[in-house]
Amino acid sequence: MNVTTRVLFAASEVYPLIKTGGLGDVGYSLPHALQRAGADVRLVLPAYRTVLTQVDSINILGWLDVRGAKRTHSVRILEVRHADFAFPIWLADCQVLFDRPGNPYVQADGHDWADNAERFSVFARVVTELARDVLGINWQADVVHANDWQTGLVPALLGEFPHPPKRIFTIHNMAYGGHFSLADFNRLALPRQWWTPEGVEFYGGFSMLKAGIVYADEVTTVSPTYAREICTEEFGYGMQGVLQISRHKLHGILNGIDEKVWDPATDVHLLAHYSANRRQPGKALNKQALLSRFGMESDEIAMQVPLLGMVGRLVEQKGLDLVLAALPYLLSHTDVRMVFVGSGDSKYEAKLRDFAVKYPTRIGVFIGYDESLAHLLEAGADIFLMPSHFEPCGLNQMYSLRYGTPPVVYRTGGLADTVIDASREHLAQGIANGFVFDEFNFEALIAAIERAIACYAQPRVWQALQRTGMNHSFGWEHSAQSYLALYRATSNK
Ligand code: ADP
Ligand code: GLC
């Protein structure tokens, strides 16, 4: 590809416009990295209510008649600008489907929006039409890069046309399959020929994630280890067979992090700035601020004992059962304090709240979504907890490394690819940056936390660990090149 590659990047969430987790971060930073590497990028996402309130210079590109569930929607296509974006953003504006408050996938009571099948099939159809320049705006995609089940139908839909653009599909999490029924399939008038075990059919229903895997030219996932793991029964969610036969086109490309947004030397959410060479007093001031934010003492003793922090979606994936099982032991056998920021499963929310009520001097809990507090926690905590049962990539452990807050992680997925255990050997080699445990049980988690606490008590060793993490480059450059190489490789087929 000698001329600039035109990449249409489709995602269901994009920071800072709308974000529920790491997909939002990647939806922002990967397209920018691609653009910096020379691609001509357009980003397309649904015009959720909160997105519309944040953008400016709205330009109507046109209207598309799009097939929904037994009805046709007239979808307005907007081209908008936003100060944080280096390229135009295209929005699929369909009020009945997207003009709603709150979370893009679930309603206030935590249940999925009942019409998600229609919402994301309409979005996928819009992406397909834009890629083909049906509106005649003289921008036709060379590559369409779709992400997760919400855009899984895009590769399949594009395949219905002659000479489609290259179709890249990235799996960010196999746990979310976009499963719907045969009745939905019929209502959406999706092509009959897709309904086979080799196509989108999945145990009597259909899966939008499977559609992406089956029909894309290249499938990627967000770390090399996860790419291997999802081909096994344990991590494949029933799709290991499909993934095994797709092995020739399956690649693990590690996510990067946005080193501008997540930089302790400039982060606007921090109370004080610091860097690898000058960690104090900045890091301590953030610890103090974090403790006060949770109404906890920040006297000399509190400042001396390790502060453990965890931030993320409160779902089973993140190892909350282990954490909750470990808490009583940590409270009785150690003097650590702990702070949690997250929202998700109500059973975990309630249990964490109970602990905070019972042990207000030791445990601080914020249930909800707070971007600013997440940054402060990464900076103010001493040790970051991320004992996920599985983790496609994980961004939080990379943020914590960059913020001098060594993480404790289970050896899985992207955690295994980014965290190097503080074993004697790794410490001697100067490559250790955190604590990794190998058995997924709370005893192993406690043992890893105890190792972290012991290491924290040895300032020299601890500082070396912090420096190694902080000095490592987790930027996107390398991964962006891998994606560009993949775009090129497929286009030569
Ligand atoms: P996942 O995508 O599985 O949720 P990642 O580690 O890849 O996990 O990314 C999580 C992202 O979402 C991080 O940017 C993290 O800070 C953010 N995040 C998750 N929950 C919250 C919350 N309650 N408040 C603020 N940020 C959150
Ligand atoms: C998913 C995964 C997480 C990954 C993120 C971005 O939400 O759970 O591990 O970092 O996507 O790719």
Q: What is the pLDDT of residues 149-168, one digit of tens each?
A: 999 999 999 999 999 999 99
Looking at residue 1, its pLDDT comes to: 43
| Span 107-146, pLDDT tens digits | 988 899 999 999 999 999 999 999 999 999 999 999 999 9
Task: Map out the domains of the chain with their CATH numbers.
Answer: 6-256+477-489 (3.40.50.2000), 282-471 (3.40.50.2000)
**Ligand 2 atom nearest to 175, measured from its CA:** 8
Dihedral sign, CA of 225, 231, 232, 234?
Answer: positive
Q: CA 186, CA 447: separation in Å to the nearest integer?
A: 53
Q: Whole-angstrom Cα distance, residue 443 to residue 91?
A: 48
* Smallest-distance ligand from the CA of 313: 1
Give the whole-angstrom CA distance, residue 269 versus residue 438: 34
The confidence score (pLDDT) of residue 474 equals: 94
Q: What pairing do the DSSP bridges indicate for beta strands 218-221 and 166-171?
A: parallel
Closest Cα partner for 208 from 123, 150, 144, 146? 150
* 407-410 vs 435-437, strand pairing mode: parallel
**What is the pLDDT of the chain when averaged over all its residues?**
96
Q: Which of 20, 297, 58, 332 is nearest to 176 (CA)?
A: 20
User: Which one-letter DSSP state was computed for residue 164?
Assistant: P
Distance (Å) from CA 40 to ligand 2 centroid: 25
Q: Whose CA is nearest to atom 12 of ligand 2?
A: 172
**What predicted TM-score, i.e. pTM, was given to this entire model?**
0.96
Closest CA to 82 of 41, 45, 51: 51
Distance CA 333, CA 455 (A): 16
Find out whether the beta carbon of 337 lies less than 6 Å from any atom of ligand 2. no
Q: What is the dihedral of CA 218, 223, 225, 229, to 10 degrees?
A: -60
Pocket test for ligand 2, best of 30, 255, 316 (most atoms within 8 A of CB): 255
Instruction: Select from 258, 395, 476 the residue to mutate for testing ligand 2; criterion: most ligand atoms less than 8 Å from CB.
Output: 395
How many residues does the structure list for the chain?
Answer: 493
The runs of H, that is alpha helices, within 339-412 are: 346-358, 371-380, 396-402
Q: How far apart are alpha carbons 257 and 230 in whole angstroms?
A: 23
Span 73-84, pLDDT tens digits = 999 999 999 999
Reported as a single tens digit per residue, the pLDDT across 209-264 is 999 999 999 999 999 999 999 999 999 999 999 999 999 999 999 999 999 999 99
| Residue to probe by mutation, ligand 1, list 343, 396, 397, 401, most atoms within 8 Å of CB | 396
Does any ligand 2 atom lie closer than 6 A to the CB of residue 222? Answer: yes
Gap from CA of 311 to ligand 1 centroid (Å): 7
Tokens of 424: 């004697």
